[in-house]
């Protein structure tokens, strides 16, 4: 009875949605509807960002607010393991799906899933990441909230039966809204969508991104005021004589970004080689807890530590630790900062590798801040340069983000928006550009795209590959060719030529196996010799093609074979059996039509 009731409810819901879609199509134009939908996506994304921020803050405050700053808190050993365990149980028994690597999952959905993101991602990443991060997991909430925003956009667009192009646009609106909401940085949200997700949009379709980013920002401001994740007040103006130091910081963060990318992927692969889930969980939890006990700033997202540096209390990074007694020793501070830079990657990989949910956005900003503070402290301690450590902390964040995410514009505008102004735009430009150029010498892919690129699944950054991906070889097969038997005579070939509009003739045996093919241009000299009609057999005239296509080939392979062979038609063979031909003309025609669909007017 209950099952029947659910079925009836589902059918009625579907009918109501179809009626709504029909009404929308008849009353509202696509472009106007996109504006309305982008507003809804922005509002929901902003609300999701605020909810996640409050969840993480509530859990973390409840667990740590009673810690004494002058003593070691051994609860650091226990909390992360509890949080990751709760996350693993939630994912395994409630979600029952992989929800890690949020931004990479968005790129994969655009590349290989027709921009379809499962509905549970509207909420599952928020719950899982709040458990992980609230209990001290050394990851960030931005990737989960970006996945949440993208999922909201994808699913709303699918409810209203929008096509791939518009679903992808709504994914971008959700991502822009999420970044805007969590950082109060609408410009950075838009640039993140364009630069990291690589959506190919014209100016007309930037308007929905603007609407989503602004509406999410307003929701965040109304519900949380000016309580941003990080707040920087610019009190030290840019000094031209420090340009060389900012260039050096760019090189340093570029190399540090390379270490971050390569090490995190290697460590995650190492955790992946542990087959027993319980062993993986306990190993990661113990490693993470030990690292946090030694270096408490590795707890959670790290924004509290960044704020301490911005507020001139960088030595507070030594609170709750074994280093508290040497808190005012600059050399001890350098040791702590160096240790944090080295072990942050291990802490992050231990969190995600053992089953925690979170992203690399916050760890990237955190390491960049520590890198800038470390470099300024180093030069100030040994060379008395008087470098403003808060400015270098901010520039380090931009440099690290530019390197790890291969997103220098996002890095510049996000850090500039955090300042509440653009007084430090020059050092941000310098550091980000140098960091990006440095890492590009060694690593062509960002941490988000590297896994997909290794599997050949990255198409969002290449429109040509994207179009080829949506073409299927099976749907381009042509079968209107005259088939001949190997034992057929020249007379049979002549009759086939008279019936056919093609200049190729496949030769197939009684089992359907392609034995060869005859090209009209090769036999033109003898088809006008009647004396040879009964003497020459087709098998004497045929040749076996060097290049052929399998129905399972992807279109990149097909295009490559056309390019390499120089042929205009290639046979399609499945386990030796003849299927048909694919022509260069049909491939080009389909490609051209899809290019028009992908382009936004």
Instruction: Please give the domain boundaries of the chain with CATH numbers for all domains.
Output: 14-224 (1.10.3080.10), 240-456 (1.10.3080.10), 467-598 (3.10.580.10)
Q: Is the pLDDT of residue 456 over 60?
A: no
Which structure tokens are listed for 238? 């840019």
> Rounded to an integer, what distance in angstroms lies between the CA atom of residue 335 and that of residue 510?
79
H runs (alpha helix) in 472-523: 490-499, 520-523
Estimate to the nearest angstrom the gap between the alpha carbon of 389 and the chain centroid: 32
pLDDT of residue 74: 84
Asked if residue 530 has pLDDT above 80, the reply is yes
Given a cut of 60, whether residue 529 has pLDDT beyond it is yes
Higher pLDDT, residue 562 or 6: 562
Tens digit of pLDDT for each residue in 74-88?
A: 888 999 999 999 999
* pTM, rounded to two decimals: 0.78
pLDDT tens column, 282-311: 999 999 999 999 999 999 898 989 989 988
Can you read off the two tokens belonging to residue 336? Answer: 């702590």
Q: What average pLDDT does range 353-379 have in this prediction?
A: 94
Residue 399: is its pLDDT beyond 90? yes
pLDDT for the residue 233: 75
Residue with tokens 């941000």: 428
406-306-394 Cα angle (round to 5): 50
Query: Mean pLDDT over residues 328-339, rounded?
Result: 92
What would the pLDDT profile of 276-286 be if each residue is shown by its tens digit?
Answer: 889 999 999 99
Name, of 309-323, 335-349, 440-454, the range with top average pLDDT.
335-349
Average pLDDT value over all residues in the chain? 86
DSSP state of 93: I
Selection from 511, 514, 477, 484 nearest residue 500 by Cα: 484
| pLDDT tens column, 236-269 | 888 999 999 999 999 999 999 999 999 999 998 9
Residue 601 has pLDDT above 50, yes or no: no
| H helix runs in 273-358, sequence order | 277-294, 303-310, 330-353
pLDDT at 584: 86
Instruction: Flag the least confident range among 53-57, 108-112, 386-390, 484-488.
Output: 108-112
Average pLDDT of the residues in 173-186 = 91
pLDDT tier at 468, thresholds 50, 70, 90:
low
């Amino acid at each position: 009875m209950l099952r029947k009731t659910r079925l009836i409810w589902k059918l009625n819901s579907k009918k109501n949605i179809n009626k709504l879609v029909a009404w929308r199509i008849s009353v509202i134009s696509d472009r106007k509807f996109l504006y309305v939908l982008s507003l809804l996506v922005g509002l929901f994304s902003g609300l999701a960002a605020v909810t996640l921020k409050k969840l993480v803050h509530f859990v973390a405050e409840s667990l740590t607010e009673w810690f004494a700053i002058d003593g070691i808190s051994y609860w650091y050993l226990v909390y992360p393991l509890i949080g990751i365990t709760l996350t693993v149980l939630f994912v395994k028994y409630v979600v029952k799906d992989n929800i890690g690597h949020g931004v990479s999952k968005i790129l994969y959905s655009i590349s290989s899933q027709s921009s379809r993101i499962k509905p549970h991602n509207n909420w599952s990443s928020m719950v899982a990441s709040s458990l992980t991060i609230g209990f001290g997991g050394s990851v960030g909430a931005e990737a989960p909230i970006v996945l949440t925003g993208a999922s909201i956009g994808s699913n709303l667009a699918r409810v209203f039966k929008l096509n791939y192009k518009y679903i992808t646009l709504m994914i971008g609106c959700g991502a822009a809204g999420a970044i805007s909401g969590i950082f109060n940085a609408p410009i950075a949200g838009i640039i993140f969508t364009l630069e990291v997700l690589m959506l190919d949009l014209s100016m007309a379709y930037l308007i929905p991104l603007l609407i989503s980013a602004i509406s999410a920002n307003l929701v965040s401001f109304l519900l949380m005021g000016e309580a941003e994740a990080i707040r920087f007040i610019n009190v030290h103006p840019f000094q031209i004589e420090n340009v060389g130091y900012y260039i050096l910081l760019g090189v340093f963060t570029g190399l540090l970004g390379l270490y971050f990318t390569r090490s995190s992927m290697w460590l995650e692969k190492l955790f992946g080689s542990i087959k027993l889930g319980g062993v993986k969980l306990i190993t990661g939890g113990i490693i993470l807890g030990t690292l946090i006990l030694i270096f408490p700033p590795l707890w959670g997202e790290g924004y509290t530590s960044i704020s301490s540096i911005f507020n001139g209390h960088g030595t507070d990074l030594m609170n709750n630790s074994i280093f508290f007694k040497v808190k005012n020793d600059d050399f001890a501070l350098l040791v702590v900062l160096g240790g944090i830079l080295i072990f942050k990657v291990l802490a992050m990989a231990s969190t995600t590798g053992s089953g925690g949910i979170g992203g690399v956005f916050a760890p990237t900003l955190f390491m960049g801040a520590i890198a800038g503070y470390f470099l300024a402290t180093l030069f100030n301690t040994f060379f008395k340069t008087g470098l403003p450590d808060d400015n270098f902390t901010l520039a380090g964040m931009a440099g690290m983000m530019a390197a790890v995410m291969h997103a220098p514009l996002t890095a510049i505008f996000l850090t500039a928006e955090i300042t509440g102004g653009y007084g430090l735009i020059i050092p941000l430009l310098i550091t980000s550009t140098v960091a990006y150029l440095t890492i590009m010498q060694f690593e062509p892919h960002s941490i988000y795209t590297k896994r997909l690129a290794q599997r050949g699944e990255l198409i969002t950054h290449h429109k040509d590959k994207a179009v080829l991906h949506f073409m299927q070889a099976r749907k381009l097969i042509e079968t209107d060719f005259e088939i001949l038997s190997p034992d057929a005579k020249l007379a049979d070939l002549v009759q086939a030529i008279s019936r056919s509009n093609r200049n190729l003739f496949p030769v197939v045996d009684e089992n359907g196996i392609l034995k060869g093919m005859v090209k009209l241009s090769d036999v033109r000299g003898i088809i006008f010799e009647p004396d040879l009609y009964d003497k020459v057999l087709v098998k004497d005239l045929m040749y076996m093609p060097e290049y052929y296509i399998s129905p399972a080939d992807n279109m990149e392979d097909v295009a490559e074979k056309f390019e390499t062979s120089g042929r205009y038609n290639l046979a399609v063979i499945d386990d030796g059996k003849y299927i048909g031909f694919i022509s260069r003309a049909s491939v080009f025609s389909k490609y051209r039509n899809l290019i028009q669909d992908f382009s936004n007017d």
